[in-house]
């Protein structure tokens, strides 16, 4: 049964190496190279979503690329949020977190 209270966000949605046909959902200038599930979790938490161990799956395979493990995060929908808006917010947060991490090194 479909769960209308949550959205599934795959790491492949933000992968710059993928074409839109292969599953990328954000534009190339917002996407990053090889996003990890931990980056997605950190971005979700910084965007204000509650992420628990039960709402993540690191070993799941994205349907369009079933030969690669990618993983996903299941987030509770907020009252007036669309999946596309959530993805854009997360793309910005992932990029920001990656820039901060590279400046620390």
The pLDDT assigned to 21 comes to: 94
Model-level pTM? 0.90
**Any idea where the domains of the chain sit in the sequence?**
6-104
Q: pLDDT above 70 covers what percent of the chain?
A: 98
Q: Residues 22-41: pLDDT tens digits?
A: 999 999 999 999 999 999 99
Burial pattern 1-37, b for ≥16 Cβ within 10 A else e, equals eeeeeebebbbbbbbeebeeeebbbbeeebbbeebeb
The pLDDT assigned to 105 comes to: 67
CATH topology of domain 6-104: Phenylalanyl-tRNA Synthetase; Chain B, domain 1 (3.30.56)
């Amino acid at each position: 049964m479909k769960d209308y209270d949550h959205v599934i966000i795959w790491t492949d949605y933000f992968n710059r190496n993928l074409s839109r046909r292969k599953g990328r959902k954000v534009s190339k200038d917002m996407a990053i190279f090889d996003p990890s599930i931990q980056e997605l979790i950190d971005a979700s938490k910084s965007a204000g979503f509650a992420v628990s161990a039960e709402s993540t799956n690191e070993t799941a395979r994205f349907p369009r690329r079933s030969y690669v493990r990618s993983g996903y995060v299941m987030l509770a929908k907020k009252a007036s949020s669309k999946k596309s808006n959530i993805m854009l917010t997360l793309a910005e947060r992932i990029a920001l977190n990656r820039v901060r991490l590279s400046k620390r090194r």
